Structure 1
Amino acid sequence: MLSSIVALGSVALALQLTLPQLWSGFQFVGDGTRPYDFAMNGVVLASIMITISTLINAFGVKLMTRINSIGVFVELSAAVLLILALGWHVVRGPEVLFDTAGFGEGHDLGFFGVFLIGAMASGYVMYGFDTASSLGEETKDPKRTAPKAILRAITASFVLGGLILLFGILAAPDLADPKVGSADGGLQYIVLSVLGGPFGKAFLACIVVAVVVCTLAVHAAAIRMMFAMARDNNLPFSRQLSKVDPVRRTPTVAAIVIGILAVMPLLINVTQPAIFTIMSSISIVLIYLSYLLVTVPMLRNRLLKKWPLAADGSEPGFSLGKWGLPVNILAVLWGGAMTLNLVWPRPEIYNSVPPFEWYLQWGGVIFVAAVTVGGALLYRLKIRHQTGVLAEHAAAVAAHPSSGAVLQAAPAEQDVADAKVS
């Protein structure tokens, strides 16, 4: 849940990378040349985006569904068109992909160290589709549909995202241009340089749509997670956080709390531009630790022949069959390796710009350690003694199966059921 909250702020901050390039009027703070203009403006844009996301998620699931459907259609269409446009403007061959351009020279790990930093991009992508499982409870037959949805999403991301990066590199006018690798340049700068004018800005607008949709999805997933945990009395103030609005049929309190908590870390970004990268990395580290809490016990059960479950109606609706064990082993190895890679206190990631402070470089390690220790203490001292579905969310149980009584859902639980989206 903390990962989703931190990631929400990180995703919203990405608007700073695109909106000012789309129109200079989006640079509300200064002109972008002063030391903190970039960071402060990013906080303003992100705060506005999170406020809008809070209102949309709190208003109702139908509005959220419509916006998400339109956004995904725009994203996919723009991705295909962008691949074709960049492919048409290719100026160099694929051999450039094997040119290290001097990166890694003079460092102990050489180019492999640079590769490990680049590998973080795939770590961010693999996290993004976790929202599909968080929202799986609101689909029909989630045991079958949610895993398939995640596989389709990751495959599409691999193909479309990979081709955009490939043709972006091959079409960039000058790879030595500092703007290509700068925080306010990157792919957006390449798109504007290659396509120029209205075409380039049209694609930048599609990138904005992608960021908005991603923000809404991460926010929605965080809300569902907070509501579910509060419903089971596993959070402080669970009774308040699990309330469902009787009219909009949404967990409005959880939506507002998530929005406020996501904005709070952004305020640190005003005078600490490096915090953007730290926040992004921390959110992914936490989610990979969460994944390991699933994949490691599942691997143990597989080795003990306790998984898959017996064919008694309790087996999962989706199965990898004979590929289950090797994929599970790979998932554990990948999760452990990516966790170490992401939390590794390298200055290139955690303290690449001034001020150069030790607590910034070790920010990931410190934050993850604090969350782990704090969470363990909270569980041991409080949560384990109170966990259990709150009475207002519990289904009424019939006196005896033989009595013929029909199970009835409590009113609050019915509110949640009515709010679900197919």
Structure 2
Amino acid sequence: MSTPSQGDAGQLAELGYDQELKRDIGLFSVFSIGVATVAPVVGLYAIFSLGIQLTGPAWILMLLLSLAGQLTVAFVYSELASEFPIAGGPYHWTSRLAGQRFGMVTGIIYALAVTAALATVAYLAAPWVCLLVTGAEPQGINRALIAMGLLLAALIVNSCGIRVVAVLVNIGIAAEVIGSLGIGVVLILFFKNQPFTILFDTMGTAPTFATFLTALAVSGWAFVGFDASASVAEETTGARSNIPKAIIGATTAVGALVVLVAGAITLASTDLASVVSGGIADPVTAVVTGSLGSWSERPFYAIVVTTFIACIVSMQAYTGRIVFGLARDGVLPASRRLAGVSGASKVPVAAMTLVTVAAGLALLLGLDDKAIGTMISFGTLGLYATFFLVVAAALYARFTGRWRPDGAFRTGKIGDALNVVAFVWLTFETVNIAWPRAELSPPGASELLVWAPLGIFILVALFAVIAVSRIHRKDPA
């Protein structure tokens, strides 16, 4: 059984906290948690069909642009995580850089956004589980019930400790390698039916500037979650050096896999016109099973289910650490209980239980196929808003002299420029994602549902500001 290194525990003490969580994972495991949370297979399934319908195969250029923008964010996050390796990172970082009230608002928005994202992933996983087991998609309330079952199963795994989580997530990474890298390479090498030049073709979609902006908003959905690595910093050995490596490594690896598979599916398609027109509802599965043969259908379902399960477990783990970090500072109601750590496994079970219950309640929206889209959009918007608040706080602290990076990972002279580029990118992309669009809502959605994600986000932000204003705490900044 490993024990926290004196160096890690001492550094945590310097930041004002005792070592309560078990420091039991290394670089590969924390990297795996980041990759599993971003989940290339999961992310691509969520956006491929919509992206290619908007701008044709050329939508892959929007993926590359989004990846470039998110990499600048990853570098800013890495510097912060290296200097402040604390569970629930963004809340602590912004508290130190821009004041505790700003940090509390950031933390509350962050926790609610990731909880919504967790419910979304469980909801999207349910049909794949049912297809694997029964060969048919779930109907009615069964989809929400399966999703709730996945959340409960994940809670059991998470309650066993971070080492057990790491093992399961590593299995998920193996599935990601097979499902992304393996299948992508095989499709390109042996089943390519389109020329590479097709990746720069809009195929008659006649996209406008607004359409490209919509495609860029959709592409942004694929590159969230790398911050999960930072949230388990107190359980990572050599956190000051390993967390930055994990954040940048996970972002780069996921980006490469998403672009590879998106390109491979496009190149291997035998009826690309139908894919672009929306005539094929699930082009990813259709291309994979059509190329490899019908025998590959169930194994492919198994790979997808495994990646979904790893993503759910990882997301639940890091959302629990966000709540734990807030509760430890007394920000939340019942903070003493939520900041509790279990005896043997040394994980914040109470915090993860709260997250699971909240995500389960959010799944009730799944009873209405149109309403569930609101939760999906809110979760993505909330995550980008958190990115923006963190990067804005870092930029403010840099240029007011409140912070100069002093961790094990530093970007040196280009750090200020990277921070500025990340700020500009997130200002643009957060507004772009927030912009109400009928194309990003379920078919037949009312105008109210089109505007609902932005409206709910504004209400959540106002709630966070009002709640924080009622908490009288000393500002440590």
Is TM > 0.5 for Structure 1 vs Structure 2? yes
Match of 1:5 in 2: 115
Larger relative contact order, structure 1 or 2 (CA cutoff 8 Å, min sep 6): 2
Q: Aligned in 2, Cα 1:26/1:135: closer, same or farther, shift over 3 Å?
A: farther
Match of 1:340 in 2: 431
Using the alignment, how far apart are the partners of 2:244 and 2:277 within structure 1?
Answer: 36
Using the alignment, how far apart are the partners of 2:464 and 2:438 within structure 1?
Answer: 27
Using the alignment, how far apart are the partners of 1:16 and 1:172 within structure 2?
Answer: 26
1:51-62 equivalences under 5 Å are: 51-62=152-163
| Superposed CA offset, 1:278-332 (max 9, x none) | 22221121122112222112222333455425xxxxx122111122112111111
Q: Aligned in 2, Cα 1:147/1:223: closer, same or farther, shift over 3 Å?
A: same
Match of 2:453 in 1: 364
Tell me the TM-score normalised to structure 2 length.
0.71
Q: Aligned in 2, Cα 1:140/1:60: closer, same or farther, shift over 3 Å?
A: closer
Using the alignment, how far apart are the partners of 1:384 and 1:173 within structure 2?
Answer: 63
Cα distance, 1:162 vs structure 2: 0.7
RMSD of aligned Cα (Å): 2.4
Q: Is the counterpart of residue 256 in structure 1 residue 366 in structure 2?
A: no
Match of 2:210 in 1: 113
Unaligned runs of 5+ in 2: 1-110
Cα distance, 1:186 vs structure 2: 3.5
Q: Aligned in 2, Cα 1:99/1:173: closer, same or farther, shift over 3 Å?
A: same
* SS of structure 1 residue aligned to 2:331: coil
* SS of structure 1 residue aligned to 2:332: coil
Q: Is the counterpart of residue 384 in structure 1 residue 472 in structure 2?
A: yes
Preserved CA contact (<8 Å) 1:180 1:189: no
Q: Aligned in 2, Cα 1:261/1:2: closer, same or farther, shift over 3 Å?
A: same
The answer to which of 221-230 and 43-52 deviates more is: 43-52
Using the alignment, how far apart are the partners of 1:275 and 1:178 within structure 2?
Answer: 26
Cα distance, 1:21 vs structure 2: 4.6
Using the alignment, how far apart are the partners of 1:203 and 1:378 within structure 2?
Answer: 46
Cα distance, 1:5 vs structure 2: 0.4
Q: Is the counterpart of residue 328 in structure 1 residue 419 in structure 2?
A: yes
| Superposed CA offset, 1:188-246 (max 9, x none) | 23212222222243233212211111111110000011111111101011112112222
Query: Which one-letter code corresponds to 1:97 in the other structure?
Result: L
* SS of structure 2 residue aligned to 1:170: helix
Q: 2:443 aligns with which of 324, 330, 353?
A: 353
Higher helix fraction (1 or 2): 2
1:8-407 equivalences under 5 Å are: 8-16=118-126, 18-22=128-132, 24-25=134-135, 27-29=137-139, 37=140, 40-87=141-188, 88-103=190-205, 105=206, 110-177=207-274, 181=278, 185-271=282-368, 273-309=369-405, 315-350=406-441, 352-354=442-444, 356-381=445-470, 383-385=471-473
* SS of structure 2 residue aligned to 1:128: coil
Tell me the TM-score normalised to structure 1 length.
0.80
* SS of structure 2 residue aligned to 1:102: coil
Using the alignment, how far apart are the partners of 1:178 and 1:48 within structure 2?
Answer: 33
Query: Which one-letter code corresponds to 1:27 in the other structure?
Result: E
* SS of structure 2 residue aligned to 1:362: helix
Q: Aligned in 2, Cα 1:210/1:184: closer, same or farther, shift over 3 Å?
A: farther
Percent of aligned positions with the same letter in both sequences?
Answer: 26
Using the alignment, how far apart are the partners of 1:231 and 1:7 within structure 2?
Answer: 23
Cα distance, 1:95 vs structure 2: 2.4
Cα distance, 1:178 vs structure 2: 5.8
Preserved CA contact (<8 Å) 1:243 1:253: yes
Preserved CA contact (<8 Å) 2:115 2:355: yes
| Superposed CA offset, 1:110-147 (max 9, x none) | 43323222223442232121111111221123222111
Cα distance, 1:83 vs structure 2: 1.3
The answer to which of 210-219 and 123-132 deviates more is: 123-132
Largest Rg, 1 or 2:
1
Match of 1:400 in 2: none
Q: Aligned in 2, Cα 1:200/1:121: closer, same or farther, shift over 3 Å?
A: farther
Query: Which one-letter code corresponds to 1:373 in the other structure?
Result: L
Using the alignment, how far apart are the partners of 2:276 and 2:145 within structure 1?
Answer: 23
Preserved CA contact (<8 Å) 1:8 1:219: yes
Q: Aligned in 2, Cα 1:182/1:349: closer, same or farther, shift over 3 Å?
A: farther
Using the alignment, how far apart are the partners of 2:197 and 2:457 within structure 1?
Answer: 40
* SS of structure 2 residue aligned to 1:75: helix
Preserved CA contact (<8 Å) 2:115 2:358: yes
Q: Aligned in 2, Cα 1:229/1:306: closer, same or farther, shift over 3 Å?
A: closer
Preserved CA contact (<8 Å) 1:82 1:203: no
Cα distance, 1:372 vs structure 2: 0.7
Preserved CA contact (<8 Å) 2:115 2:359: yes
Unaligned runs of 5+ in 1: 30-36, 310-314, 389-422
Cα distance, 1:82 vs structure 2: 0.5
Preserved CA contact (<8 Å) 1:179 1:185: no
Preserved CA contact (<8 Å) 1:3 1:286: yes
- Number of aligned residue pairs: give it: 365
